[in-house]
Structure 1
Amino acid sequence: MSPFSSSSLGNQQRVAILGGGPGGYEAALVAAQLGAHVTVVESHGLGGSTVLTDVVPSKTLIATAEIMATVSGATELGVRFPGGGTDDHEAEGSVTVDIGRVNQRVKALASAQSHDIRARLEKEGVTVLSGRARLDGTEAIEVVDGDDAGERVEADVLLISVGARPRTLPDAQPDGERILTWKQVYDLEELPEHLIVVGSGVTGAEFANAYDALGAHVTLVSSRDRVLPGEDADAAEVLEEVFHRRGMTVMSRSRAESVVRHGDSVTVTLADGRTVEGSHCLVAVGALPNTEDLGLAEAGVWTTDSGHIEVDKMSRTSARGVYAAGDCTGVFPLASVAAMQGRIAMWHALGEAVRPLALRSVSSTVFTSPEIATVGWTQAQIDSGEAQGDIVKLPLATNARAKMLGIHDGFVKLFCRTGSGTVIGGVVVAPRASELIYPVTLAVEKRLNVDDVAHAFTVYPSLSGSVAEAARQLHVMSD
């Protein structure tokens, strides 16, 4: 039976959802469509941190940074700017950013998106309560603070989707002005003169890249031997080379111990005693689940040592009738995964046919310049023998469309299973890699053979032509 079949309507079960982020509001929409009576409790605003302080704001900021990165390479294509002088350096410097206006736009878009989500939920008959809630056993929740404090909602199905918050360091406490988390950067009225970014994971790399493109001097402090330690090694190498070429300072194997503010400056002290002086510091060292004081233990909901809620591939927790979705589960910190976890929870709880969560076909992107997009098995897993696969990597520098656009960095990498030629994964490093990864994701999801990909027409010239060319080369290897 389809999850959207009309025969399932009329289900009068009661669903209560803690948290209005992607896991929560997508679950609410599914449950309402299936006829359940749905209540969502959210403390900060519908859309959660994804919409208000994380994905939507950061990608809006990055969109402006992307324009600046494009401008910086425009002189190669023969573009000049009024008042920009005659050499490339002067031309690039003629375009600047008003970070105050950028952040106003960021917050306005986030607010509008949150409003749209509320309007959609209310249209579908979902009750929205404002405040923070906790479990009262496995069949009810209580709103403990906020505008609707004191409300008690009984339910047949509970979903916990309370998200996560920025992790901080004991000796690097944010003040919202000079020492910042990623939730606080959108209050800046002036571009940092020298931004020190502590943490070289996805969040740190994205913000370091963005502020560098916007015109700030950036120092990236990484405790690991390279940026993006969890990503494809070849992709990380390309990005680090780009960072160095653009003038960013990247400090590898440098663990930050403390961050101290001195008026209009900050000092970052490293574990080896070295110090770095800057105007601002962004601390991007991971996230912690918002699972404290939710009544989880009393309800029999198991959590890990890190505080994440344990769930199976149907989003079920250890307590009957209680489900969980999103970053509070620690499964995969992506909005798309949170949304799917929430949908799966409702389909399962309300008796619909549903497939378990399959992470192997989840695509993800690091929104830097160039972007890094991945899906499926990784080269590290193939190299270690965990997966049996053949690999082809094509640099974009040989792609005709890339040459026209002035693209020098990046590649397409495709993996197929040895023998059968089934596409099992891939990496794209390029402008708009988040769009280019889709055909690879489709091939992984549908278990297409490299010949299926190779025989599909591509536009000439196009960046996607490199995906087809990689598939054609893998055909030779899979024979």
Structure 2
Amino acid sequence: MSLSFERAQSVAIIGGGPGGYEAALAAAQLGADVTLVERAGVGGSAVITDVVPSKTLIATADAAVAIADAGELGVQLFAKGGDGRPLKPEIAINLAQVNKRLLALARQQSEDMRASLLQAGVTILEGHGRVEDDNAVVVSTGPGGTDFDRIEADTLVISVGASPRELPSAKPDGERILTWTQLYDMKTLPEHLIVVGSGVTGAEFASAYMNLGSKVTLISSRDQVLPGEDKDAAAVIESVFLRGGMTLLPKSRAKSVVREGDGVVVTLSDGSRVEGSHCLMAVGSIPNTANIGLEQAGVQLTQSGHIRVNRVARTSVPNIYAAGDCTNFFPLASVAAMQGRTAVFHAFGDVVIPLEKRRITANIFTAPEIATVGWGVADI
């Protein structure tokens, strides 16, 4: 459905992740003059360094397990030795090739999304966007932020996402101490991966690398893996992890993570030490909302820096909307996409159905997977 106006409505969007992408596409389809500002690439971190590569890695791990367990189904791989007798080959993981493939897939999806926006008539600016006031965005497009473009628009959509949270006592170096965006630079499988944080991200990567063949230690500050999920589901995952050889350290808080020789040492709050080859820090994320002019424009933020939005993705400023992990709603790529569409439809005066958290379906890609929707046991 298209709407007609005396002049084309204009929409400026900061951030080209799922929320920004869907908002841009919806606005263009409604005949608006749309400008999208993105610094890393269309699709944002969700496509380039988060959802797409991580789920591809997990699918690869699942394939490795399927091949390894195929003998139980009567499907066997053999090679002949020098004496003509069959030899059972070992399953080997070429992590460099795995990472090369998944990053290529992520970049291709980003390029496909960019092409879709350009075909729809969206103007894409590469650079850092900042809200100047409730009707304008300033974009630094030159090296070092020397060149600026100013875009005036009737509606602004903020979809700047979030970045991995870093602890002062466990600074990532991109080699041994890693965030989840840095895992794909590894050339060989970690001999012993220590995962700090047992939320969705930590549990998914712990599961994947265990199935790829790494020794894994999962450190959780809570009394169960996946503390946000029902205890019955978490218990199943913990049982699978332990059966697969993973070491679980519940109620343990990492005090510091440092490099030592060719490995890392994690010191816990009780003084004990855990030694490994690599450490993944999965201790949450922080919204990318600092220093982009939101407070000056009157947009209300939470204490954690997330943008306050209502169920139609509207902020405290009537013509400014926000979508995705930078908001205080629900941090899922699918939700961000729906927020982006809902924001545009609402801004253009269309009828929208406010988002309801109880109707959101979510999935955790451990092995086995956990799917949720509606009420949990803790809500009853």
Using the size of structure 2 for normalisation, the TM-score is: 0.95
Please say if residues 81 and 94 of structure 1, whose CA atoms lie closer than 8 Å, have aligned partners that are also in contact.
Answer: no
Answer yes or no: is 1:35 the counterpart of 2:3: no
Aligned residue in 2 for 1:381? 379
Q: Which residue of 2 aligns with 1:396?
A: none
AA partner of residue 21 (structure 1): G
Runs of 4+ in 1 over 6 A off after TM superposition: none
1:204-250: per-residue Cα shift (whole Å, max 9, x none)? Answer: 00000000111111111111111001012111101100000010111
Letter in 1 for 2:250: S
Which residue is 1:26 aligned to? 22
Give yes or no for the alignment of 1:68 onto 2:88. no
- SS of the equivalent of 1:340 reads helix
Q: Is the alpha carbon distance of 1:127 and 1:173 closer, same or farther for their aligned partners in structure 2, counting shifts above 3 Å?
A: same
Correspondence for 1:433: none
3-state SS, counterpart of residue 207 of structure 2: helix
Count of residues in correspondence between the two structures = 373
Checking the alignment, whether the CA contact within 8 Å between 1:313 and 1:357 is kept in structure 2 is yes
Q: What is the identity percentage for the equivalent residue pairs of Structure 1 and Structure 2?
A: 61
Q: Secondary structure at the match of 2:91?
A: coil
Structure 2 spans left out of the alignment, 5+ residues: 82-86
8 Å CA contact 1:38–1:126 kept in 2: the answer is yes
The match for 2:233 among 227, 232, 235 is 235
Return the structure number with greater relative CO, CA threshold 8 A, min gap 6: 2
Q: Compared with structure 1, are the counterparts of its residues 41 and 371 closer, same or farther at alpha carbon in structure 2 (3 Å cutoff)?
A: same
Specify the SS of the correspondent of 2:148: coil
Secondary structure, counterpart of 1:151 in structure 2: strand
Take 1:319 and 1:136, find their aligned partners in 2: how far apart are those partners?
13
| 1:336-355 superposed matches below 5 A | 336-355=334-353
Alpha-carbon distance between aligned partners in 2 of 1:218 and 1:8, rounded to the nearest angstrom: 58
1:127 is matched by which residue type in structure 2?
A: T
Amino acid at match of 2:38: E
Matches within 5 A, 1:209-228: 209-228=207-226
1:76 Cα deviation after fit:
2.3
Equivalent position of 1:178 in the other structure: 176
Question: Map of 1:55-454 to 2, 5 A cutoff?
Answer: 55-83=51-79, 94-146=90-142, 149-382=147-380
**Match in the other structure for 1:428:** none
**In 1, Cα distance between equivalents of 2:75 and 2:197:** 36
1:352 match: secondary structure: coil
Looking at secondary structure, tell me which structure has more helix per residue.
1
**Do the aligned residues in 1 keep the contact of 2:96 with 2:187 (CA within 8 Å)?**
yes
Aligned mates of 2:261, 2:8 — CA distance in 1? 59
Shift of 1:69: 2.0
Deviation per residue, 1:345-371 (Å, 9 max, x gap): 000001111111122111111101111
Q: CA RMSD in A?
A: 1.7
C-alpha contact (below 8 Å) 2:364/2:370 kept by paired residues: yes
The Cα shift of 1:146 comes to: 4.6
The Cα of 1:170 is off from its aligned counterpart by 1.4
Change (3 A) 1:11 1:210: farther
- 1:130 maps to a residue whose letter is E
User: Per-residue deviation at 1:80?
Assistant: 2.3
**Residues 29-81 of structure 1: per-residue CA shift (max 9 Å, x gap):** 00000111000000111100000000001001111001112223323222322
List runs of 5+ in structure 1 lacking aligned partners. 383-479
Three-state SS of the structure 2 residue aligned to 1:328 is coil
Residue 9 to residue 373, structure 1, CA distance change in 2 (3 Å): farther
Residue 44 of structure 2 is aligned with which of 48, 51, 56?
48
Q: Tell me the CA shift for residue 381 of structure 1.
A: 1.4
Aligned residues of 2:53 and 2:103 also touching (Cα < 8 A): yes
